[in-house]
């Protein structure tokens, strides 16, 4: 079945970096772009950016520009999100989500990963 | 950035009740509006896309309508398994933005 499986929970210290993975299966990886969305108690659902696995083009939210990098590995059908200079308020659940493609593709998130909890703590 | 507001922020209803959630965008987003359901500890699930299209496999008691800046989401007959938080999301213009959510529980 179509699914996105994310990597396990992380605990990091302030100032550190974290790299999360999201492995796709059940569909042609290069057809659908993937977004990253995080969820914090205080900020709700927050869009971080998008990566197109076919050409690895990206677009990031201004809020995270300079601090995040999204990459894709077509040999393993996996997208990655790296967040640097972690702060306490980066503590959140991070989700990857696939773009829906029917006749064309649009930023409708039809498949989500299960989420990765990132805790920033000293 | 486009701001999304939802009302109410929470509601309690009885099984079988009809309930409606509203979502308003800070500018015209045409029909580029989705609705998601999220249960505790789970990822959001797509219910309605492009304002009024029911995602495959989603029960027909869920519906959506609207265009421009004002949208509604309706559950025609609330079921116990509908206890969740519901979010609207605009995808007209990046950055994609979500509403703050509406939490639904059983009275």
Low-confidence stretches of chain B (pLDDT beneath 70): none
Mark yes or no for CB contact A47/B98 under 8 Å. yes
- Is residue A114 less than 8 Å (CB to CB) from chain B? yes
Across the interface, which of A44, A63, A110 has its CB nearest the CB of B46? Answer: A110
The overall average pLDDT reported for chain A is 95
pLDDT on residue B44 = 98
Q: How many whole angstroms separate alpha carbon A16 and alpha carbon A69?
A: 14
- pLDDT for the residue B51: 97
Exposure of B35 in the CB half-sphere (CA atoms within 13 A): 29
The confidence score (pLDDT) of residue B104 equals 98
- Counting one residue from chain A and one from chain B, the pairs whose CB atoms sit within 8 A come to 53
pLDDT for the residue B32: 96
Contact A26, B76 (CB under 8 A): no
Minimal C-alpha gap between B55 and chain A (Å)? 8
CA B82 to chain centre: 12
Q: Are B68 and B77 in contact (CB under 8 A)?
A: no
Quick check: B89 and A61 CB within 8 A? no
Q: Can you give the pLDDT at residue A42? A: 73
Is cis: bond before B8, omega within 30 of 0?
yes
pLDDT in tens, B30-53: 999 999 999 999 999 999 999 999
In this predicted structure, the answer to whether residue A43 has a pLDDT above a threshold of 90 is no
What's the N-to-C CA distance of chain B in angstroms?
A: 36
Q: How confident is the model at residue A41 (pLDDT cuts 50, 70, 90)?
A: confident
Give the DSSP letter of residue B12. E
Q: Provide the pLDDT for residue B86.
A: 98
Taking the C-alpha atoms of residue A109 and residue A95, their distance in angstroms, rounded to an integer, is 11
Nearest CA distance, A46 vs chain B (angstrom): 7
pLDDT in tens, A69-92: 999 999 999 999 999 999 999 999
Q: How would residue A56 be classed by pLDDT, with cut points 50, 70 and 90?
A: confident
CA distance A111 to A37: 12
Is there a contact between B88 and B98 (Cβ–Cβ < 8 Å)? yes
**Does pLDDT of A102 surpass 90?**
no
B89 touches chain A (CB under 8 A): yes
- How close, in Å, is residue B94 to chain A by CA atoms? 8
Tokens for B63? 């519906």
Q: Which segments within chain B are labelled E, that is strand?
A: 4-7, 10-13, 19-25, 33-38, 45-49, 53-54, 62-67, 70-75, 84-90, 97-98, 102-106
| CA–CA separation, A20 and A22 (whole Å) | 7
């Amino acid at each position: 079945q179509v699914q996105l499986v994310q990597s396990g929970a992380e605990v990091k210290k302030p100032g550190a970096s974290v790299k999360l993975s999201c492995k796709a299966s059940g569909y042609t990886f290069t057809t659908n772009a993937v977004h990253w969305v995080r969820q914090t108690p205080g900020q709700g659902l927050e869009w971080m950016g998008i990566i197109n696995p076919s050409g690895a083009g990206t677009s990031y939210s201004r809020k995270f520009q300079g601090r995040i990098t999204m990459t894709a590995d077509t040999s393993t059908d996996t997208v990655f999100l790296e967040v640097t200079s972690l702060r306490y308020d980066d503590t959140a659940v991070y989700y990857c989500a696939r773009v829906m493609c029917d006749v064309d593709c649009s930023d409708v998130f039809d498949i989500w990963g299960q989420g990765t909890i990132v805790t920033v703590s000293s | 950035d486009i701001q999304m507001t939802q009302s109410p922020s929470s509601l309690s209803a009885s099984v079988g009740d009809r309930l409606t959630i509203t979502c308003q965008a800070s500018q015209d987003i045409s029909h580029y509006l989705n609705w998601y359901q999220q249960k505790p500890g789970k990822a959001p699930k797509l219910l309605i896309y492009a304002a009024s299209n029911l995602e495959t496999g989603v029960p027909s008691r869920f519906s959506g309508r609207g265009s421009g800046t004002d949208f509604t989401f309706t559950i025609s007959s609330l079921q116990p398994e509908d206890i969740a938080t519901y979010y609207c999301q605009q995808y007209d213009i990046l950055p994609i933005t979500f509403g703050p959510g509406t939490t639904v529980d059983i009275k």
